[in-house]
Chains A and B, each alone.
Chain A
C-alpha cells in the first residue's frame, strides 16, 4: 500500500524537523497514539490504538527507526507495527522543503499490511489510511501553529 502526498506547513524546515523528532509531539499528532518513547537516538517505541467505526481500537505495538537523516531536508522511517489484527510495516520517506514563508512536507510511505486487516479490511484500507494521514498532518499543523504564535 502506497500512501503519498504533500502538505503545506507553517514555519521553517528546521522548526518542523525538531517537532518531528520530538516523541511528545509525535505522540500528539499520530492518530491513536497511546504512548510513545524514544528508546534510542533514532528509535521510537510505543502503542497505538486505531478505531474505525465499529472496529474497536486495534492496538498496535509500534517501532519506528529513523535512517538517512538529512537535517532538515529529509529522513526515512522504518515502521514496524504488530497487533492482534495483523501487522503493518514498511518505509516512509519524508522531505521538507522551504516554500515561501513556510515549508512543504512531501511524504511517501510504502507499507505492507498483513493479517486480519489485510484479509477483511481492503474495502476501507485506502479511505482509512487517507483519513489517518490527514488527521496526523492536521494535528501537526495545529501543533506548529500553536508553537509559532
Chain B
C-alpha cells in the first residue's frame, strides 16, 4: 500500500495553484487528502501530479456573508464543528458535523475537498443541497457561482471544469419559522452512512408548510433532493400522518438506492422511510418552536 511516483507541488498562493492546474491537465488538487491519499496508497488513484492546497491560507476560514455564512474551501471540518457562528447561522450544518467520519478525519478533511470529491455517501453535499448553498469556483478564467443543487452532477461528478477549484461555499441565512434536522444510519459511528437525510422545514404565518427541503445521501449517485416527498409536505399542516406519508413517498418514489454488502435496496428504502420521518418530526417541532 505505497503509492506510485508522482510530482508534488505546494504553491503558496491561490493564483499559483490555479496556474499550475491550468497548465497541467494531469494535476490533481490535494486538500485534506482523506479520500485521495488512501486511494493512492491502494494504487486505485495514480495522479501524475499533486497540487497541495494546504498552504493556501486565503482559502481557509469562516466569515459572515450578510446574514449568512461563508466557509473557505480549505476550512477543516473540525473548525466548522467548533465555530459558534455555524451553530447560530447554519444549525443544520452544525448538527451534521459530528456525523462526518471520525475526529481525526475531521481534523484534516476540508469542506471544499468533501464537496469536490462528491462521494454519494458524504454528508456535506446533502446538507448544502438542503440549505441551498452556493459553491464558489475559481480558475485562471475567473470565478463562478454555482447553486449546490447544480454543482453535484453524478457519481463523484461535479460542475467543476478542468483547472477549476472550489474556493468557498456560501450558506444563506436560515429563514424565520424554520426547523432543521439531520439523521443518518451508519454501522458504526463515523462509517459511510447507509442512508442519511438533511431536512429544513419553513412554516408560513398560519403554521402550515411554506417550504420543505429534504436531501438524502447514500441512496443515489449523489445527494438526492426528495422532491416528491417535499411536494407532499407543501402547504400541509405537517401533522404526523402527512409526515409519515411524505417519508413513505420519499422512500418509494424519490430514490433508486443501490444494493451493496451492507444494505440491500429494500433496507435502504426502509431506512429512508424511518429516518425521513424522524428528521421531519424533529424539524417540524423546531419550526413550531421558532414560530412562537
Contact = CB atoms under 8 A, between A and B. Distances in A.
Interface of A: 52-56, 58, 84-85, 116, 120, 122-128, 130-131
Given A123-B260, A125-B260, A130-B258, A54 B192 contact: no
Nearest to A127: B258
Given A124-B155, A127-B221, A131-B155, A54 B261 contact: no
Interface in B257-274: 258-262
A20 to B, nearest CB: 25
Given A120-B44, A128-B155, 18 more contacts: A52-B155, A53-B157, A54-B36, A54-B44, A55-B39, A55-B44, A55-B45, A56-B45, A56-B46, A56-B47, A116-B42, A122-B261, A123-B260, A124-B120, A126-B258, A127-B220, A127-B258, A131-B221
B120 A54 contact: no
Contact of A120 (B42, B118, B157, B220): B42
Interface in B149-163: 154-157
Most buried by B among A54, A120, A122, A131: A54
11 contacts: A53-B118, A54-B44, A55-B39, A55-B44, A56-B44, A85-B44, A123-B121, A127-B120, A130-B258, A131-B154, A131-B221
A14 to B, nearest CB: 32
Contacts of B36: 54
B156 A53 contact: yes
- 5 tightest Cβ-Cβ pairs between the two chains A and B: A53-B156, A126-B258, A56-B46, A127-B258, A54-B39
B32 to A, nearest CB: 13
Binding site of A, secondary structure by majority: helix, strand, loop or mixed? helix
A52 B156 contact: yes
B291 interface: no
A123 B192 contact: yes
Contacts of A128: 155
B47 to A, nearest CB: 7
Contacts of A53: 117-119, 155-157
B35 interface: yes
Interface in B88-133: 117-121
Contacts of A125: 260
Most buried by A among B36, B46, B121, B258: B258
A125 B259 CA distance: 9
Nearest to A85: B44
B258 to A, nearest CB: 4
A59 to B, nearest CB: 11
A85 B45 CA distance: 11
Contacts of B220: 127
B184 to A, nearest CB: 15
Contacts of A124: 120, 155
Contacts of A127: 120, 155, 220-221, 258
B260 A116 contact: no
B258 A54 contact: no
A54 B260 contact: no
B232 to A, nearest CB: 26
Contacts of B118: 53
Contacts of B35: 54
A126 B260 contact: yes
Interface string B235-271: 0000000000000000000000011111000000000
A122 B121 CA distance: 13
Nearest to A123: B260
Contacts of A126: 258-260
A56 B42 CA distance: 11
Contacts of A122: 260-261
Nearest to A130: B258
A69 to B, nearest CB: 32
Contacts of B117: 53-54
Contacts of A84: 43
